[in-house]
């Protein structure tokens, strides 16, 4: 199925938004205005956008610790995300979640967490809700190679398989859990092979090719909507930055390996393809780039000028109703 020029251009736009958002986050972190650590998606934009654009806005999505890109991939506005990174009250989490809780619920996100693998059984539950309601919504669950070693991976995939739940488990295999190579700690070469243990399809896709990811995930979504159950998709990808920005530890990867992956940077890869295929002219591509740059700059301005939460707001939303005064504290 050939994608329309509009869809391809939108893919490029969303990938650029992620890249530029992340580059701004790098600069703001260096400047010291972002608290805590940030885990950047630079290099992984194609698998994020390819997967997110294969589902609809009404479909659910769960992220992880490296999840700035996921809400952007699903079409979220940038300003509340950037404000959250800066810990401002206007952020998607009112400035109390920060980088690893960048979920935008308005685009179907059901949350992000730094507990690796924690979203995997939760995704099964959200999909079970869709099944019980008789809806044809699906749930797209992102996690990494490291999460595929966690017990929750097994429990979640098993539940989804036995109940034929409409979930797309998308493993973003970027080759490393922090600084440990997946080759050393994952018992199989291809994580997609683990699907066999649950009797579900496992697919491998080039994570640097947004169109290929879109095609594979679309197939998985169609299966899920037909009630045929979950699919495990493994996107082979790479993060160009450290595990967390500023770690400055690169002794676990070779320069040659990084350069090899940089040659397949998904953004120029797509741009060149769109220009070569006549989908976008050079000028049109430039316009998309200028617009994305302006959007990110506006998001940074919004975030910088937003207020911080008051200390007492740390207690907000601890419970759905404030505890009676006689018991609080």
Partner 1 sequence: MTTTHTPRPSTLLVPEARPAAEPAPASVPLARALGAGLRDAMAADPKVVLLGEDVGRLGGVFRVTDGLQEEFGEARVIDSPLSESGIVGAAIGLAMRGYRPVCEIQFDGFVYPAFDQIVTQLSRLHQRSAGHLRMAVTIRIPYGGGIHAVEHHSESPEAYFAHTPGLRLLTPSTSADAYLLLRQAIACDDPVIFFEPKRRYWERGPLTAPEDPPPPMERARVARPGTDVTLIAYGPTVRTCLDAASAAAADGRSVEVVDLRSLAPLDWPTLADSVRRTGRAVVVHEAVVTAGLGAEIAARLTEECFYHLEAPVGRVGGYHAPYPAARLEQEYLPDLDRVLDAVDRAFRY
DSSP per-residue letters across 278-329: TSS-HHHHHHHHHHHHHHHHHHHHHHHTSPPPPGGGGGTTSSSSPPPTTT--
| Measured distance CA(236)–CA(176) in Å, rounded | 11
With CB under 8 A as the contact rule, the residue among 96, 225, 264, 273 that binds partner 1 is 96
Binding mask 221-260 for partner 1 (x = CB under 8 A): ----------------------------------------
Taking the CB of residue 31, how many other CB atoms lie within 10 A of it? Answer: 8
Closer residue to partner 1, CB minimum distance, 144 or 156 = 156
Restricted to residues 150-189, the positions that interact with partner 1 (CB under 8 A) are 151-152, 155-156, 158-159, 162
| Measured distance CA(37)–CA(99) in Å, rounded | 7
Name the segment binding partner 1 (CB under 8 A); options: 190-198, 246-254, 280-288, 310-318. 310-318
Name the segment binding partner 1 (CB under 8 A); options: 113-121, 180-188, 234-242, 289-297. 113-121
* Nearest CA among 181, 104, 101, 112 for reference residue 143: 112
Q: Least separation, in Å, of the C-beta of 256 and partner 1?
A: 38
With CB under 8 A as the contact rule, the residue among 63, 69, 121, 266 that binds partner 1 is 121
Q: Does 90 bind partner 1 (CB under 8 A)?
A: no
CB-based contact 98:315 (threshold 8 Å): no
- What SS3 state is found at 171? strand
With CB under 8 A as the contact rule, the residue among 15, 25, 79, 103 that binds partner 1 is 103
| Measured distance CA(71)–CA(63) in Å, rounded | 8
Binding mask 56-85 for partner 1 (x = CB under 8 A): ----x-------------------------
DSSP per-residue letters across 107-136: GTB----SSTTTHHHHHHHHHHHHHHHT--
Q: Does 129 bind partner 1 (CB under 8 A)?
A: yes
Count the site residues for partner 1 by CB under 8 A. 47
Q: Does 120 bind partner 1 (CB under 8 A)?
A: yes
Q: Least separation, in Å, of the C-beta of 35 and partner 1?
A: 16
| Measured distance CA(158)–CA(163) in Å, rounded | 9
* Nearest CA among 49, 46, 89 for reference residue 70: 49
Residues that bind partner 1 (CB under 8 A): 60, 92-94, 96-97, 101, 103, 105, 110-111, 113, 115, 118, 120-130, 132-133, 139, 151-152, 155-156, 158-159, 162, 316-321, 323-324, 326-329
């Amino acid at each position: 199925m050939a994608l329309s020029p509009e869809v391809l251009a939108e893919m490029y736009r969303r990938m650029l938004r992620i890249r530029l958002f992340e580059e701004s986050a790098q600069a703001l972190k260096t400047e010291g205005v972002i608290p805590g650590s940030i885990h950047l998606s630079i290099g992984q934009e194609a698998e994020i956008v390819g997967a997110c654009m294969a589902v609809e806005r009404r479909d659910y999505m769960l992220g992880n610790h490296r999840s700035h890109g996921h809400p952007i991939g699903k079409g979220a506005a940038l300003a509340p995300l950037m404000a959250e990174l800066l810990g401002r009250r206007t952020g998607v989490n009112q400035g109390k979640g920060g980088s690893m809780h960048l979920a935008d619920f308005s685009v179907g996100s059901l949350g992000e967490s730094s507990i690796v693998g924690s979203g995997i059984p939760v995704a099964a539950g959200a999909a079970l809700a869709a099944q019980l309601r008789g809806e044809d919504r699906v749930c797209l669950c992102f996690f990494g190679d490291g999460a595929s070693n966690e017990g929750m991976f097994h429990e979640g995939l098993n539940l989804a398989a036995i109940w034929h739940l409409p979930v797309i488990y998308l493993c973003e295999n970027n080759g490393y859990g922090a600084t440990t190579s997946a080759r050393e700690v994952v018992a199989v070469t291809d994580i997609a092979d683990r699907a066999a243990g649950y009797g579900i399809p496992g697919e491998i896709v080039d994570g640097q090719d947004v169109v290929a990811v879109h095609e594979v995930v679309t197939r998985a979504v169609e299966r899920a909507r037909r009630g045929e159950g979950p699919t495990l998709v493994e996107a082979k990808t790479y993060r160009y930055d450290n595990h967390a920005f500023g770690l400055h530890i690169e002794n676990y990867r070779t320069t040659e390996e990084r350069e090899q992956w940089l040659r397949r940077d998904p953004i120029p890869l797509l741009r060149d393809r769109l220009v070569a295929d006549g989908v976008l002219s050079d000028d049109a591509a430039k316009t998309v780039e200028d617009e994305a740059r302006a959007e990110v700059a506006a998001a940074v301005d919004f975030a910088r000028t937003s207020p911080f939460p008051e200390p007492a707001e740390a207690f907000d939303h601890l419970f759905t109703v404030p505890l009676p005064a006689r018991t609080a504290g």
